[in-house]
Amino acid sequence: MRHAGVDAATAAARLALQDRVPEVSAVVTAQLGEEFAGIWWDISTGTITIATTGRPVDFGQFDKDAQLAGHLTQVTVRHSLVELKALSAKLGALAEHVEGVVVAGVSLHANSVLVRLQPDTAPATLPADLASAITSAGDGVSIETLSSPATVHARRGGQASSGDRQV
């Protein structure tokens, strides 16, 4: 039986690999320290992706692990997870009482903090302190204007998910 383009054996192998994300995360987080920028299970490629701000991940300890072999990838990004979480907390505090603005948290894939605006909220109408913080963060912030009014529940200082499992 096939579902979503994969057979049962492939699906089982992917689920087992996906379950290893927390273990791999603990190892690479300890290895990279403040250069760690996130880890996620990439549904489209069937790999565990590790983001770092520059230092290469030493995958040596995983070389003899048949389940992980060939399923770990690294991407280099600009902002560390520590930096993005601090920025998310700062923007969340500044936006807490601003109507039409939600700081949704860290988007690992975009390597930025996701700020969502209701359709009737123009960036030019944001309070000066919030607008200044967003501007000074540069590419550390992604602004998304919702296509229709919605009630948005935020995890202030958390992580925004795009569908892949994030740790």
Listed by start position, the domains of the chain span 2-76, 81-160
pTM: 0.80
Which tens digit of pLDDT belongs to each residue from 52-104? 999 899 888 887 888 888 889 999 999 999 999 999 999 999 999 999 999 99
- How is domain 81-160 classified at the CATH fold level? GMP Synthetase; Chain A, domain 3 (3.30.300)
Distance CA 29, CA 36 (A): 6
Q: Which residue has the tokens 């990004």?
A: 77
Lowest mean pLDDT among 9-13, 90-94, 97-101, 114-118: 9-13
The CATH class for the domain spanning 2-76 reads alpha beta
Q: Are domains 2-76 and 81-160 of this chain identical in fold?
A: yes
Distance CA 15, CA 36 (A): 24
Residue length of the chain = 167
> Which whole number is the average pLDDT over 133-156?
79
Structure tokens at 96: 């807490």
Which tens digit of pLDDT belongs to each residue from 25-52? 999 999 999 999 999 988 888 889 999 9
Distance CA 129, CA 131 (A): 6
